[in-house]
Amino acid sequence: MFCAEPFFGASNKSYPPRTRSIREGSLRGFLLQSLRVSIQFQIDIARGAGRTGRLTTPHGVVETPVFMPVGTLASVKAVSQDLLEDLGVGILLGNTYHLYLRPGVETVRALGGLHGFMSWDRVILTDSGGFQVFSLNELRKITEDGVTFRSHLDGSSHVFTPESAIEAQIGLGADIIMAFDECTEFPAERERVRASMELTLRWAERSKKYFEEHKQDVPWGRSRPSSVARRHKRPVSSLEFPVPDSNGSPGNSKPETRNLIGQSQSLFGIVQGGMDLDLRKESAERTIEIGFSGYAIGGLSVGEPREVTREIVEATLRHLPADKPRYLMGVGTPEEIAMYAALGVDMMDCVLPTRAARHGLLFTSAGKISIKQARYANDAGPLDPACSCRVCGRYSRAYLRHLYAANEVLAQVLNTIHNLSFYLDTMRRVRHSIRLGEGTGFLSGVSSQPKP
Ligand SMILES: [Zn+2]
């Protein structure tokens, strides 16, 4: 489906045939072996189940636990990259399914991967496309080989296999990429959940095999100028990146020089097993046997009750290695991300803060506000007096309500900036509380219940 750019291009022509084959093989093998370990996870403080740490990737260091805003189409909707940097976003998420359909993997690859294409020098994670394809329902067909699906854009037919999903993610060039998995539907019979889990395990092995054989093809792992480097007027191999300060905000300390040459992406495995505790344990153990740089808990937030989600997360975390990053996919509200961080989750992503913002639903320290309500029409106060974001520091509730009622584009921008700030601040407070050993004290005051 994708035509990966061959690693050895026209320069091979200078070798005599016999010598060339030996040199190609040995050089390729040498380069594969010489790729540096491209992710490091260091736990700084562990208190109870929660822990703070530092995730070091080719494009920077991220303080954990971390919330990752979702940038589905190489864009966090309504907020530009420089604003995301100002907010302290150190890592964001891109969706392989959407980027594969539009603008296409080869377009992104040719422009330096996602980092170059969207001019984002910090860390990126891409999903494998499995969850998006799963959510297409009637438009997909699953076989041992992979998933045939129809584009939601034009109805055209496509196939994702573990190999092509990894190939796409190598082309997109995120720092962290995900194994291709099947997200089991809810509810499902136990035998169906087991069969789905077994399929995900076979796909995990195929994902890893393809990744190990092709990881040198990442767009930024070689010495060549890219569009982002030209725009930044410095070589892409020596971009500067900020180191997070003690609050986890990148950009406030002296930049370090980054060297991307010879660095590869990191592949995470995904634990499935539906809502069955035994199958979750088995899935975790067998995924760990395959061996990944980090482990995600997938297949949740698919319609199950919230208390079931928590039970599954808590049980699954017990079976994941303590020294590897743990990523809970697609969760959740402000109090949920605080709760799961306290349980020992290191990474989370969710469209909730950005999607809710575009519908006028704003998270505040007093609960969730619907800014469209008439009671805010003459309210001169800030959206959230306890929030230090640039929106709450400048604009009134009356103005934000007017923008939303008038369908002004600025409403989406300002609402999204506030909601993202609220989520990022929540995670900063979580990290601070873990460091101070305050247990789950920080959970008080974090609420997504409607403001009375
Ligand atoms: Zn605010």
Residues 267-292: pLDDT tens digits? Answer: 999 999 999 999 999 999 999 999 99
* 271 in the same domain as 364: no
Q: When comparing pLDDT for 409 and 14, which is higher?
A: 409
Is 355 a domain residue? no
Residue 11 predicted with pLDDT over 70: no
* 293 in the same domain as 178: yes
* 392 in the same domain as 276: no
Last residue of a domain, one of 319, 350, 381: 350
**β-pairing verdict for 256-257 and 147-150:** unpaired
Alpha-helical segments (H) within 88-151:
96-101, 105-110, 113-117, 130-134
| Rounded Cα distance, 205 and 213, in Å | 12
* 346 in the same domain as 366: no
Amino acid identity, position 105: V
| Residue pair 169/2 in contact by the 8 Å Cβ criterion | no
| Rounded Cα distance, 288 and 270, in Å | 10
Q: Provide the pLDDT for residue 4.
A: 31
Is 106 a domain residue? yes
Q: Name the active-site residue from 121, 127, 346, 384.
A: 127
Residue from 341, 338, 360, 356 nearest 408 by CA: 360
Task: Map residue 412 onto helix, strand or coil.
Answer: helix
Residue 9 predicted with pLDDT over 60: no
CATH assignment at residue 266: 3.20.20.105
| Residue pair 327/359 in contact by the 8 Å Cβ criterion | no
Q: Provide the pLDDT for residue 120.
A: 97
Q: pTM, whole model, 2 decimals?
A: 0.87
Q: 443 pLDDT band (50/70/90 cuts)?
A: low
* 211 in the same domain as 263: yes
CA of 436 to the centre of ligand 1 (A): 25
Q: Provide the pLDDT for residue 437.
A: 86
Is 19 a domain residue? no
| Domain hosting residue 404, numbered range | 360-443
Average pLDDT of the segment spanning 220-233: 54
Q: 297 pLDDT band (50/70/90 cuts)?
A: very high
* 378 in the same domain as 288: no
| Rounded Cα distance, 169 and 108, in Å | 11
Q: What is the residue-averaged pLDDT of the chain?
A: 87
| Residue pair 61/242 in contact by the 8 Å Cβ criterion | no
CA of 85 to the centre of ligand 1 (A): 16
Is 41 a domain residue? yes
Specify which residues 296 forms β-bridges with: 270, 327
CA of 68 to the centre of ligand 1 (A): 18
Last residue of a domain, one of 325, 350, 375: 350
Q: Provide the pLDDT for residue 398.
A: 98
Q: Provide the pLDDT for residue 13.
A: 31
DSSP 433: H
CA of 94 to the centre of ligand 1 (A): 25
Q: Catalytic residue at 145?
A: no
Q: Provide the pLDDT for residue 86.
A: 97
* 282 in the same domain as 414: no
Average pLDDT of the segment spanning 19-48: 69
| Rounded Cα distance, 253 and 241, in Å | 10
Is 170 a domain residue? yes
Q: Provide the pLDDT for residue 8.
A: 27
Q: Catalytic residue at 323?
A: no
Q: Which of 28-42, 86-100, 333-347 has the lowest mean pLDDT?
A: 28-42
Is 26 a domain residue? no
Q: Provide the pLDDT for residue 30.
A: 59
CA of 421 to the centre of ligand 1 (A): 6
| Residue pair 168/95 in contact by the 8 Å Cβ criterion | no
CA of 414 to the centre of ligand 1 (A): 9
Q: Name the active-site residue from 181, 349, 384, 425.
A: 349
| Residue pair 332/301 in contact by the 8 Å Cβ criterion | yes
CA of 357 to the centre of ligand 1 (A): 12
The domain total for the chain is 2
CA of 64 to the centre of ligand 1 (A): 22
Residue 16 predicted with pLDDT over 60: no
| Residue pair 208/181 in contact by the 8 Å Cβ criterion | no
Amino acid identity, position 12: N
Q: Provide the pLDDT for residue 139.
A: 79
| Rounded Cα distance, 432 and 186, in Å | 36
| Residue pair 228/112 in contact by the 8 Å Cβ criterion | yes
Q: What percentage of residues in the chain have a pLDDT greater than 70?
A: 82
Q: 221 pLDDT band (50/70/90 cuts)?
A: low
Last residue of a domain, one of 303, 332, 350: 350
Average pLDDT of the segment spanning 357-364: 98
Q: 204 pLDDT band (50/70/90 cuts)?
A: very high
Please give the helix or strand (H or E) that residue 164 lies within, else none.
Answer: helix 162-172
113: alpha, beta or left, given left = phi > 0 and alpha = psi -120 to 50? left
Q: What percentage of residues in the chain have a pLDDT greater than 90?
A: 75
Q: Provide the pLDDT for residue 257.
A: 56
Q: 225 pLDDT band (50/70/90 cuts)?
A: very low
* 305 in the same domain as 276: yes
Q: 5 pLDDT band (50/70/90 cuts)?
A: very low
Is 259 a domain residue? yes
Q: 245 pLDDT band (50/70/90 cuts)?
A: very low
CA of 392 to the centre of ligand 1 (A): 4
- Using CB atoms within 10 A of its CB, is residue 375 exposed (0-12), middle (13-18) or buried (19+)? exposed
Residue 254 predicted with pLDDT over 90: no
Residue from 112, 79, 74 nearest 95 by CA: 74
Q: Provide the pLDDT for residue 427.
A: 96
* 254 in the same domain as 395: no
* 271 in the same domain as 377: no
Which 3-state string (H, E, C) describes 23-41?
Answer: HHHHHHHHHHHHCECCCEE
Q: Enumerate long-range contacts of 392-401, CB under 8 Å, 24 or more apart.
A: 392/418, 397/371, 400/371, 400/376, 401/371, 401/372, 401/373, 401/376, 401/377
Q: When comparing pLDDT for 400 and 221, which is higher?
A: 400
* 410 in the same domain as 275: no
399: which 2 tokens?
């103005």
* 265 in the same domain as 199: yes
Residue 1 predicted with pLDDT over 60: no
Q: Which of 181-195, 210-224, 418-432 has the lowest mean pLDDT?
A: 210-224
Q: 259 pLDDT band (50/70/90 cuts)?
A: confident
Average pLDDT of the segment spanning 156-177: 97
| Residue pair 243/250 in contact by the 8 Å Cβ criterion | yes
Is 144 a domain residue? yes
| Rounded Cα distance, 89 and 68, in Å | 8
Rg (CA), the chain: 22
Q: Provide the pLDDT for residue 231.
A: 57
